[in-house]
Structure 1
Amino acid sequence: MKKLLKGCSGVLLLSLIFLGFYLYTAESSTKAPEQPIFFSHKIHSGDNQIPCQYCHSYVTESTMPGIPSMQKCMGCHTFIAGKDEEYKYDGKAINIQKEIQKVKEYWDKKQPISWIRVNYLPDFVYFTHKRHVLREGIECKTCHGEVEKMDVVQRVYRLQMGWCVSCHQEKAKDGDELTKLKDCLTCHK
């Protein structure tokens, strides 16, 4: 009986280790999810030099940056149809006009696009883009990488507590501010 319990506990322990490793690597994956429409930040932010805050205008007003509304997309794409040529991405040829047409179809149906979120924090973390962007002047690429060089956005940093705390330590102006920035209740509500 003892051997059986010992064997079961060993199998259980190995299973938990495997599960933990799986969840850790799945959560930390930087592979970009496949989105319902091909949207190139490289074309928009890089080539056309549209600032992040033009589309993500809520970063200075809200705790969440939000995904741009369809109205924001159509503000430009009512007039801009894109080039009628194949755009090469990841070995695939993508017709930008067809992708823009998909946006227009969603608009005509009054249906939001179900974008798959790339960067996220757990619900127990209190984080406000407004404070970081407006008050502290932190650039988007500090946390999101050089999005203007990405055709398809993918997570660059894992955005976990240790990463955030190390940034807080670098940015703190004095000991009092560091104490506040390292206080659990600053980020965990």
Structure 2
Amino acid sequence: MKKGFKDGMAAILLVAAITIVSVISSRDAQSESEGPTQPIFFSHKIHAGENQIPCEYCHSYVAVSAKPGIPSVQKCMGCHTHIPGKDELYEDGPVKINFQTEINKLKDYWDKKTPIPWVKVHYVAEHARFKHKPHIRRGIECSACHGEVENMHVVKRVNKLEMGWCITCHEDNAKDDKELQRLKDCLTCHY
């Protein structure tokens, strides 16, 4: 009886481990290739590119918080109360969007007083401490890490925001050896 129980538990743990690895791998593969499917089709190409809305307008907490902040429904409605969208098909290559349909989804969230459940695209390890503020003060453009989102309808991860990638950036951008040593100190980025 004990052997059967142990074998059964081992099988369950193996299946659970394989499932977890598969989910994480598929999330990573999707976000690197085409980006995740979002609850509302939001085009950074239209907002940040064609309309030239600065990143900081929508991600208003980026300079003062550890997290850049995903725009609230209220922030979106600040514009889309006055910009209703057209009930016509917008086409750009394979991308086809009916703006009115997507803005109606936004208005539904607004009417229900429910936040939009955006799917996160960029991840920093939980054991890493990352703040946008020093990078902004330094004049590092958002695109250095996030890619040229102004050319993306669907935002996807273009850089693996992992330790080696960050260290290479610190090495390439340090003003001098003293700053490089500070930037490479473990406690600069880790708790």
Q: Could you state the TM-score of these two structures normalised by the residue count of structure 2?
A: 0.83
**Which of 118, 123, 128 is 1:120 aligned to?**
123
Question: Between Structure 1 and Structure 2, how many residues are aligned?
Answer: 170
Structure 2 counterpart SS, 1:71: helix
Describe the shift of the 1:178–1:40 C-alpha distance in structure 2 as closer, same or farther (beyond 3 A).
Answer: same
Deviations 1:48-107 (A, max 9, x none): 010100100111111110101111100000010122211236735321111001101100
Tell me, in whole angstroms, the C-alpha distance in 2 between the residues paired with 1:24 and 1:44: 30
Describe the shift of the 1:24–1:72 C-alpha distance in structure 2 as closer, same or farther (beyond 3 A).
Answer: closer
Describe the shift of the 1:160–1:26 C-alpha distance in structure 2 as closer, same or farther (beyond 3 A).
Answer: farther
Q: Could you state the TM-score of these two structures normalised by the residue count of structure 1?
A: 0.83
Tell me, in whole angstroms, the C-alpha distance in 1 between the residues paired with 2:154 and 2:171: 31
Superposed, 1:15-30 pairs within 5 Å as 26=26, 28-29=28-29, 30=32
**Which of 159, 166, 172 is 2:174 aligned to?**
172
Gaps (5+ residues) in structure 2? 1-17
> Given the alignment of the two structures, is residue 64 of structure 1 paired with residue 79 of structure 2, yes or no?
no
Indicate conservation of the 8 Å contact 1:89/1:151, yes or no. Answer: no
> Given the alignment of the two structures, is residue 150 of structure 1 paired with residue 152 of structure 2, yes or no?
yes
Tell me, in whole angstroms, the C-alpha distance in 1 between the residues paired with 2:185 and 2:79: 44
Gaps (5+ residues) in structure 1? 1-17
Describe the shift of the 1:123–1:100 C-alpha distance in structure 2 as closer, same or farther (beyond 3 A).
Answer: same
Aligned residues: CA RMSD: 2.1
